[in-house]
Structure 1
Amino acid sequence: MQKRLTLAAALLLGTSVAWAQVPVPANKQTNPTVLTGGTLHVGNGQVVEGAAVAFSGGKITYAGPAAGFKPEGATYETVNVAGKHIYPGMILPNSQIGLTEIGSVRATLDQQEVGLFNPNVRSVVAYNTDSDITPTLRSNGVLMAQITPVGGMISGSSSVVQLDAWNWEDALVKADGGVHLRWPAMVAPSSDNSPQVAQRRQARQTGLQEMESLLAEAKEYKNQKKDRENLKLASLTGLFDGSKKLFIHADYGKEIVEAVRFAQKAGVKEMVIVGGGDALLVADFLKENNIPVIYSGVHALPARAGDDVYLPYKMPGLLQQAGLLFCLDYDASLHGSRNLPFIAGTAVAFGLPKELALSSVTLNAAKILGVDKQVGSVEVGKDASIVVSEGDILDMRTNKISHAFIQGRKLNLTDKQQYLYQKFNNKYEQGK
């Protein structure tokens, strides 16, 4: 019995030590702060050398040349960032962070609901602010994310959160702004008339018919007097007045066109393509219909054997030249989401101008997610979502974050990886 108690106490002690490494959310900003002397990358393509950025009450009050900053009677806490670079916090536009933790532990997975059609599922209520993954994103300058459900044909609603909060209510930036549609893959024509292929074709057709009926019901429901609310239909009504966006997950060109026309026929006002592997092939169609793209395949192999092996790296620059509004996503792995700035850096190496690459992970993402009035660039009136790096934030060699602020609150940039590095570095130093 004594042995069991000792073991339990040891486990509790080990758990409490591990918990102690999770940074506590920052306190609300109380003192006005000014960052001075650094190079400001606004996020909209502009660069200001020798800049000052001031913020008070969580909002930016000045952003421009340091010589033009006037405190106007307030006492500012001055942070000298000379030789460093000031950026807007980056935004991960399509992520299961806070919904998924350890792939082999079922109790930590809450990113998917059963069934094909779950528009009423709200991913944000399952968002875990205590995830060990979140601090690793902040350490690389990623301060916001859209929390996206997966599974089925209509996975549910997504919300935009900032990545430093006690609970999901505090984290919310924009609630339930998008509905996510996983467009079913086409069944390629072939001479194979096996029952399995026929079954796949039939399942796809049945799913599309059911989805068409569901959207028609929701559109009718929007205009009806309601004795009792239907949560599934109510969650879709925003698609018909533009208050919600339909995020269509599709890569193949024909599927992108098919999905957009399907949604237009149903009366959907605002759409976004997520994935967009063939977006360049249908760029004229997307531009004509004013549909932006969340492009997910920069660090990937080409989709077709005959493609240029560097095509995924070049794609952001080509999308920019085609005149599409796009942002970049990192979907290779959840734990790799911290590498978001470096896929933008890859795009720079293959033709996308550096400041436009920065916009592809900041302001463009904010525009596509509908939060550009609040965040996405370092401009007066916006939230003080700001990162200071010792060097180029898009280069893994120089991305060294010295300061980060969310709504003016100074973040603790410690994360589990840094803690473990320091722990074992000390161990082996002691052994020398």
Structure 2
Amino acid sequence: MLLIKNGTIYTMAGEIIENGSILIENGKIKEIGKDIVAPLDVEVIDAEGKMVTPGFIDAHCHIGLFEDGIGFEGDDGNEMVDPVTPHLRGIDGINPMDRTFEEAYQGGVTCAATGPGSANVIGGQFAAIKTYGRRIDDMIVKEPLAMKIAFGENPKRVYNAQKKSPMTRMATAAILRETLFKAKNYVEKQEKAKEDPSKAPEFDMKMEAMAKVIRKEIPLKAHAHRADDILTAIRIAKEFDVDITLEHCTEGHLIADYLAEEQKPTIVGPSLSERSKFELKNLTFETPGVLNKAGVKVAIMTDSPVIPLQYLPLCAGLAVKSGMDEMEALKAITINAAEILGIDDRVGSIEVGKDADIVIFDGNPLKDINCKTVATIIDGKVVYKR
């Protein structure tokens, strides 16, 4: 058992507990309050004068798939020979021993949504994982988490270089639609086969993966920076009645009214980067605050390796500097991220029964540049202590 005592606890479940305590048992949060009576032999961390938060969640990155300082040998995020690769699973390319994992949890990031990049129209399957461990199978929170798709410049650039489709935004949308039509037909045949096995479709690994999208078991995770690409993503999701989250959403502030009307969750970033391509010309840290004030649910991402995961709270802080409410920014890297990813039953807030993923800081990581992590707990285990 582990007891954290005397801290200022930001539960992210509607309250801040001054001089509060958290009792942890078997990797879960057992009790939260002010006057917890714990066994005499319990391990104790005194968090007096410290800020205690849920472990931070990066809702979109590629940790473990683009390894640190390696180059091609560690580059496993994009299979750039076929624009439709839904059968790829991010967990098969993640190296959990890459040093970026240690840097992540030392910075307070305890969970991350990671998976294929955006070279392909359909890139493959994301997973939500803890940032501590040596075997990816033991780190999974949810897998598959979502199906990565991409609009805009990336697939255009990759396949234009190969002189093959898609070379235009029209082709990107058409290829996605064609695949969704095939997947819908595949699922319909599977349903008919329940009554008549002779109607079962011939096995297709790509369609098996896409069937999860059609059945709404997982959402599309749509890479879209430009306003028109964001709206195309929404249009196609509505056509096929599938769930979708909007990733990057760089020009989301330009269409905040439309996004509020559609009520599709957004995962904004990476904003702490250069405007490396034309579709980033309106990049600003104001985006998450504008969307939040419009009534859109917002999470903030690093898109690691674009921004290392340990700077996720810095990104949230810069959003605050650009007009976002501080508590809303903290939600964007905790409970909002968990809810958007569909893993809020386990992580994202400090509540009884949830995973004991907790971070203790000697200041406010969104406001204090000198703030340091005092301790990181993942699944009830102290994985880092300064």
8 Å CA contact 2:126, 2:143 repeated in 1: yes
Check the 8 A contact 2:186/2:201 in 1, yes or no.
no
Partner of 1:144: 111
Please tell me whether residue 352 in structure 1 is matched to residue 318 in structure 2.
Answer: no
1:8 alignment partner in structure 2:
none
Q: 2:260 aligns with which of 287, 297, 301?
A: 287
- Given that 2:151 and 2:172 are in contact with CA atoms closer than 8 Å, whether structure 1 keeps it comes out as no
Distance 1:399 1:266, change over 3 A: same
Taking only aligned residues, the RMSD between alpha carbons, in angstroms, comes to 2.9
Question: Would the aligned equivalents of 1:140 and 1:399 in 2 still touch at CA under 8 Å?
Answer: no
Paired residue for 1:18?
none
Q: How far apart are residue 51 of structure 1 and its match?
A: 0.6
CA–CA distance in 1 between the matches of 2:356 and 2:74? 32
CA contact (8 A) 2:152 2:225 kept: no
Name the counterpart of 1:214. 179
Shift of 1:340: 0.6
Q: Residue deviations 1:9-35, cap 9 Å, x none?
A: xxxxxxxxxxxxxxxxxxxxxxx1110
Letter of the aligned partner of 1:240 in structure 2? I
Name stretches of at least 5 consecutive residues in structure 2 with no aligned partner: 155-160, 194-199
Separation in 1 of the partners of 2:175 and 2:98? 36
In structure 1, what is the Cα distance between the partners aligned to 2:15 and 2:281?
Answer: 32
For normalisation by structure 2, the TM-score amounts to 0.87
Instruction: Return closer, same or farther for 1:215/1:400 CA change in 2, 3 Å cut-off.
Output: same
The aligned counterpart of 2:208 is 234
Structure number with greater Rg is 1
1:205 aligns with 2:147: no
What SS does the corresponding residue of 1:410 show, helix, strand or coil?
strand
Aligned partner letter, 2:258: F
Residue 94 of structure 2 corresponds to which residue in structure 1?
A: 127
CA distance in 2, matches of 1:222, 1:126: 28
Aligned residues: 369
Counterpart Cα distance in 1 of 2:205 and 2:275: 41
Q: What amino acid does structure 1 have at the position aligned with 2:129?
A: V
Correspondence for 2:84 among 117, 124, 130: 117
Q: Alpha-carbon deviation of 1:204?
A: 4.1
The 5 Å alignment of 1:240-319 reads 240-268=214-242, 270-300=243-273, 312-319=284-291
Are the aligned partners of 1:35 and 1:53 in contact in 2 as well (CA < 8 Å)?
Answer: yes
Answer yes or no: is the 8 Å Cα contact 2:271–2:284 preserved in 1.
yes
- CA separation of 1:215 and 1:83: change in aligned 2, threshold 3 A: same
SS of residue in 2 equivalent to 1:138: helix
Match of 1:81 in 2: 47
Deviation at 1:240, TM superposition (A): 2.1
Q: Identify which of 49, 53, 63 aligns with 1:97.
A: 63
3-state SS of paired residue (2:213)? helix
- Deviation sequence 1:96-129 (CA, Å, 0-9, x none): 1111114553211111113100011001122111
Q: Distance in 1 between matches of 2:121 and 2:180?
A: 13
Cα deviation, residue 314, structure 1: 2.5
Matched AA of 1:62: E
Look up the match of 1:378.
Answer: 350
**Distance between the aligned counterparts of 1:104 and 1:57, measured in 2?**
37
Partner of 1:36: 5
Three-state SS of the structure 2 residue aligned to 1:174 is: strand
Q: Which amino acid aligns with 1:138?
A: Y
The aligned amino acid for 1:210 is I
CA shift, 1:367, in A, is 0.6
CA contact (8 A) 2:286 2:319 kept: yes
Alignment equivalent of 2:133, drawn from 159, 162, 165: 165
- Shifted more, 234-243 versus 73-82: the winner is 73-82
